[in-house]
Amino acid sequence: MDNNKSQTRREFLGGSLISALMLSSCDQKPHAFMTDEPILPSGDLVKLLSVDGEIIEVDRAFLKPVPDITPVTNEEARIGIEGKKFVMVIDLSRCKNLKKCQQACNHVHHVHPSQNWIKVYSMQEAEHTAPYWQPTTCMHCDEPPCVKVCPVDATFKRKDGIVLIDSNRCVGCRFCMAACPYSTRVFNWEEPDIPLEIAQQAYNCETSTPQKKGTVGKCDFCPDAVRKGELPHCVSSCPNGVFFFGDLVEDSVTNGSETVRFSELIKDKAGYRLMEDLGTKPSVYYLPPVSRNFPYESGLENQAPANSHSH
């Protein structure tokens, strides 16, 4: 009887796995392990924890590597992740211009060489004030000037606060670049220099890849990673824990090793946003560069020679 029960479960699981695959692979290339051959039970049972918290036994033959969560369609990508409001906190007291964030970001998104979605600015407000390093991502504004001016709805604001670009729709007018006060957007002036197998993929709004000639690109808060419960690549690549990412609804942000209450962090360390007076309402908060982990000078070696700090 026990055997019978597991048999039915097995059939159920196998069937649902296949149907899920078939659904998800509608407009995708078929996955390598998808086969028409019936799967024969090997008789070797493995104990697993089901999603309901029940312990179940599954024949080893049915265990297959789970593919990456299939990317959402560009229509779903426009809606966003329900019930979330993503925020980032950048702690300026921890940044020493290592640019690991930038390297990871450029690598993952195949950003065209010499262009950057993340920039690390050498800032100095006035002559007698202290210089500091300021990484910038897209601010994912709640009143995004770029979205306001886009004539074709190619750049859009999602329910979870993320601002993305549909490169399949962008007409390349570059009004968004003129409108963005944070100079966060870059343009693909030429055919992006990316590996052929990536370039041939269908464009996905959540991965922002592959970038296309004649369209605009920018930081996307890595919603594909976030959907999988992972952190954006700048956050996970920073060895100094500069970037905190999280959800305003849950009031929690993490840099991978520390998880803190967003509201407390902002309150305790007097967090602020860039160019508040413009009314763009960014989703990126900054913690002031006080009680620093590194002196400003330690970041100079990583600075490109032509970059001088601003006054």
Partner 1 sequence: MNVVTVSKTEQIIKDIQPRPFGKVGKIWLGFLIAICIVGSYAYYCQLRDGLVVTAMGDYVSWGIYISNFVFFVAISLVGSLITAIFRLANIHWSTPITRIAEIIAVSAIFFASLIIIVDMGRPERLYNLFLHPRLQSPIIWDVVVIGTYFIISLLLLYLPLLPDIKILLKQSKEMPGWMRKFYSWLGSFWTGSKVQKQINNHSIKILSIMIIPVAFCIHTVTSWLFATTYRPGWDSTNFGAYFVSGAFLVGAGGVVTAMYVFRQMYQLSDYITDKHFDRMGKAVVLLAFLYLYFNVNEYLVPAFKMKKPEEIHLTELFSGHFAPMFWFAIIVGMLLPIAILITKSGRKPMMVFIAGIMVVVGAWFKRYLIVTPTLLHPFLPMQDVPDKFRTYFPSWHEWAIAFGSLAGALLVITLFARIFPVIPIYETIIGEDENEEHLI
Is position 191 an interface residue for partner 1 (rule: CB under 8 A)?
A: yes
CA 103 vs. chain centroid, Å, equals: 14
Segment interacting with partner 1 (CB under 8 A) among 37-45, 47-55, 64-72, 168-176 = 168-176
Strands (E), 77-187: 86-91, 119-123, 132-136, 155-157, 163-165, 186-187
Is position 208 an interface residue for partner 1 (rule: CB under 8 A)?
A: no
Distance CA 57, CA 59 (A): 7
Distance CA 246, CA 262 (A): 8
Is position 289 an interface residue for partner 1 (rule: CB under 8 A)?
A: no
Closest C-alpha to 216, from 264, 170, 251: 170
CA 258 vs. chain centroid, Å, equals: 19
- We find the least distance from the C-beta atom of residue 228 to partner 1, in angstroms, to be 29
Q: Which is nearer to partner 1, 96 or 119 (CB)?
A: 119
Nearest 10 degrees: Cα torsion 162, 136, 155, 271: 40
Q: Which is nearer to partner 1, 42 or 310 (CB)?
A: 310
Which strand (E) or helix (H) includes residue 244?
Answer: strand 243-247
Is position 257 an interface residue for partner 1 (rule: CB under 8 A)?
A: no
Is position 114 an interface residue for partner 1 (rule: CB under 8 A)?
A: yes
Is position 104 an interface residue for partner 1 (rule: CB under 8 A)?
A: no
Per the CB < 8 A criterion, the answer to whether 168 and 203 are in contact is: yes
Is position 152 an interface residue for partner 1 (rule: CB under 8 A)?
A: yes
Q: Residues 119, 158, 269, 292: which binds partner 1 (CB under 8 A)?
A: 119
Is position 151 an interface residue for partner 1 (rule: CB under 8 A)?
A: yes
Is position 78 an interface residue for partner 1 (rule: CB under 8 A)?
A: no
Segment interacting with partner 1 (CB under 8 A) among 70-78, 198-206, 208-216, 257-265 = 208-216
Q: Residues 214, 256, 271, 288: which binds partner 1 (CB under 8 A)?
A: 214
Q: Which is nearer to partner 1, 48 or 171 (CB)?
A: 171
Q: Which is nearer to partner 1, 270 or 275 (CB)?
A: 275
Per the CB < 8 A criterion, the answer to whether 96 and 299 are in contact is: yes
Is position 306 an interface residue for partner 1 (rule: CB under 8 A)?
A: yes
Per the CB < 8 A criterion, the answer to whether 302 and 97 are in contact is: yes
Is position 102 an interface residue for partner 1 (rule: CB under 8 A)?
A: yes
Q: Which is nearer to partner 1, 149 or 198 (CB)?
A: 149
DSSP string, 160-227: TS-EEE-TTT-----HHHHH-TT---EE--SS----HHHHTSPPBTTTTBS--TTSEE-----HHHHH
Is position 98 an interface residue for partner 1 (rule: CB under 8 A)?
A: no
Is position 122 an interface residue for partner 1 (rule: CB under 8 A)?
A: yes
Residue in the structure block whose two tokens are 């789970």: 66
**What number of chain residues touch partner 1 (CB under 8 A)?**
50
Q: Which residues bind partner 1 (CB under 8 A)?
A: 102, 114-116, 119-123, 136, 145, 148-154, 169-175, 177-179, 181-183, 185-191, 213-216, 275, 278, 304, 306-310
